[in-house]
Amino acid sequence: MRAAELITACILALFSGYIMWKAGEPPSWNPSVGRFANVGFIEDEGPGSGFWPFWLAAIMLLSCVWTIANWARRVTPHSRSQAVFLDGYGKKMLVYVGGGIIGFLIAIEVLGFYGAIPAFLVYYMRILGGHSWRLTLTIALMTPVVFFFFFDVAMRIVLPKGYLEPLFIPLYAIFL
């Protein structure tokens, strides 16, 4: 936990520095303006476009330095903790659940929401949760049907269908 606290604070400090750098960027259509010209008070215009994000990122950077100082002085619980950041269960959870969600997103790009939702629910409920096929399939198949009538039909929010689009054309003809 102690190492994770330091590494995270350092990454966030770098990120804050990057935002400060990025906030000072001149607009692409006017490259003659110098970097960081927009982070201060511009005569007759008031604070420039980079003013707000630049100074906020500066505060973010200072707060990261503060966290690192706390770490060095061992004043916070995490800076003293010798416990592991992610134990075996945590790592497995991150791979199975986090990976499952990423897989779900990729499946949406290919199969659309109505193909990806049953696939994700079967993966999670049957493979990770160990629920019966009956319960799994009932929920996995009912959910997209309810969503179709709620979003596509009632709300007129057409969810992406990916390669399954041709299957929905007859349904559009009936309900939309």
Minimum CB–partner distance for residue 6 and other proteins (Å): 10
Quick check: 24 and 56 in contact, CB under 8 A? Answer: no
139 binds other proteins (CB under 8 A): yes
| DSSP SS3 for 30 | coil
Q: Where are the alpha helices (DSSP H) in 24-98?
A: 51-73, 77-80, 88-93
Map residue 56 onto helix, strand or coil. Answer: helix
Of 14, 72, 74, 98, the one binding other proteins by CB under 8 A = 98
Q: Give the contacts of 81 (CB within 8 A, at least 6 positions apart).
A: 1, 2, 5
User: Taking CB under 8 A as the rule, does residue 39 contact other proteins?
Assistant: no
Contact residues toward other proteins (CB under 8 A) are 1, 4-5, 8, 12, 19, 22-23, 25, 27-28, 38, 41, 45-53, 56-57, 59-60, 63-64, 66-67, 70, 76-78, 85-86, 89-90, 93-94, 97-98, 101-102, 104-105, 108-109, 113, 117, 120-121, 124-125, 128-131, 135, 139, 143, 147, 151, 155-157, 159-160
